[in-house]
Amino acid sequence: MKNMKAMIPTCLLASLMLLCGCMTTSKPAPLRTVNHVDLPRFMGDWYVIGTIPWMVEKNNVGTMDIYKMRPDGRIGITYAFPLVSG
């Protein structure tokens, strides 16, 4: 029991140090933008080579994101994957 009481201040100090490590004292530099992006160049089929899967993507392989310019000027994105039976 005596050791447990001695550990409490140590744990509190360690927790405080970890939380202080998450603090920042300065703001990050603002992101720079470019004047022009050639959007039509990026339209089409793109194979997904890396992802953080979520429940909809579970067990999907050979997936693609399909980008198309919409009539309203926005970009439409379709997620496609082959159907696997079994």
Rounded mean pLDDT of 29-51? 90
Give the global pTM: 0.54
Residue 14 phi, psi dihedral angles, 5° rounding:
-65, -40
Q: What's the CA dihedral at 39, 44, 48, 50 to 10 degrees?
A: -10
3-state secondary structure of 44: strand
What pLDDT sits at residue 68? Answer: 96
Per-residue model confidence as pLDDT tens digits over 62-82: 889 999 999 999 999 998 888
For the cut 70, the answer to whether the pLDDT of residue 41 exceeds it is yes
Give the residue, 45 or 5, on which the prediction is more confident.
45
Cα separation, 84 vs 79, whole angstroms: 16
For the cut 70, the answer to whether the pLDDT of residue 11 exceeds it is yes
